[in-house]
Amino acid sequence: MKTSASLAEESETDRGSGLVVAVDGPSGAGKSSASRGAARALGLRYLDTGSMYRALTWWLLDRGADTTDPEVVASLAAEPVIEVGTDPAAPWTRVDGTDVSGAIRTREVTAAVSAVAAVPRVRARLIAMQRAIIADAGGIVAEGRDIGTVVAPDAQVKVFLTADGAARASRRAGEASWSTRAEVDRRDRMDAAQSGKAADAIEVDSTGLDLDEVVGIIVGLVPKSLQKST
118 CB neighbour count, 10 Å cutoff: 16
pLDDT in tens, 158-170: 999 988 756 555 5
Q: Which of 4, 14, 10, 20 minimizes the C-alpha distance to 218?
A: 20
Tens digits of pLDDT across the chain (230 residues): 444 444 333 433 344 469 999 999 887 788 999 999 999 999 999 999 999 999 999 999 999 999 999 999 999 999 999 999 999 999 999 999 999 999 999 989 988 999 999 999 999 999 999 999 999 999 999 999 889 999 999 999 999 998 875 655 555 555 554 455 556 555 555 555 455 788 999 999 988 889 999 999 999 999 888 886 43
pLDDT in tens, 128-141: 999 999 999 999 99
Give the list of residues 6+ apart from residue 52 with CB closer than 8 angstroms, or none.
5, 82, 84, 93, 126, 129, 130
User: Is-above-0.85 flag for pTM?
Assistant: no
CATH number of 20-220: 3.40.50.300
